[in-house]
Amino acid sequence: MAETLDAEKVRKVAVLARLKLSEAEIGDYATKLGNILKYVDTLNEVNTEGVVPMVHAVELSNVFRADEVQPSLPRAAALQNAPKTDGTFFLVPQILEDK
């Protein structure tokens, strides 16, 4: 830990997060996220040797249900909020080259 954030690192994280940021946002996040990271470093004070990580508040495992066919969302309803659709599929930009 004790990491500092520079603009370069913010750019890298933005690529991982699939977020296009403006130069102003990159500068702003470098400072503000840097402050937050400095703050969370206080966790280093805590001895967590042998402590099992707590992933969830209710620690359930293997919730089973019967494998039965249930009605699902009709196609029209599933597509009703699509930014682009032909009525059958969600349309996205072409990702494979024409040969």
Partner 1 sequence: MSIIGATTGELLSRLERGELTSVELTTAYLDRIAQQDDRVSAFLTVNTAEALQQAADVDRRRQAKQPVGLLAGIPVAIKDVLCTKGLKTTCASRMLANFIPPYDAHVITQLRNADAVLIGKTNMDEFAMGSTTETSAFKITRNPWDLDRTPGGSSGGSAAAVAAGMSPLALGTDTGGSIRQPAGFCSVVGMKPTYGRVSRFGMVAYGSSLDQIGPFANDVNGAALLAQVIAGHDGRDSTSVNAPVPAYSQTVNQPLAGLRVGIAKEHFVEGLNPEVEQTLRTALQVYKSLGAEIKEVSLPHTSYGVAVYYLIAPSEASSNLARYDGVHYGHRAEQFSNMIDMYATSRGEGFGSEVKRRIMLGTYALSAGYYDAYYLKALKVRRLIRQDYDKAFEQIDVLASPASPNPPSKVGEYSANPLAMYLEDIYTIGANLAGLPGISVPAGFTEAGLPVGLQLLAAPFEEEKLLRAARMYELATKWQGQRAAL
d(CA 85, CA 21): 28
Q: Rounded to an integer, what distance in angstroms lies between the CA atom of residue 7 and that of residue 11?
A: 6
- For position 20 contacting partner 1 by CB under 8 A, the verdict is yes
For the CB of residue 99, give the shortest distance to partner 1 in the complex, in Å: 18
Establish if 69 lies at the interface with partner 1 (CB under 8 A): no
Among 69, 92, 98, 99, binds partner 1 (CB under 8 A): 92
Contact 33, 5 (CB under 8 A): yes
> Beta strands of 32-71 (E only): which ranges?
none
Q: How many whole angstroms separate alpha carbon 56 and alpha carbon 21?
A: 32
Q: By CB under 8 A, name the binding residues for partner 1.
A: 1, 3, 5, 10, 13-21, 25, 28-29, 32-33, 35-37, 39-40, 42-46, 48, 51-58, 60, 63, 65, 73, 77-78, 80-84, 90, 92-93, 95
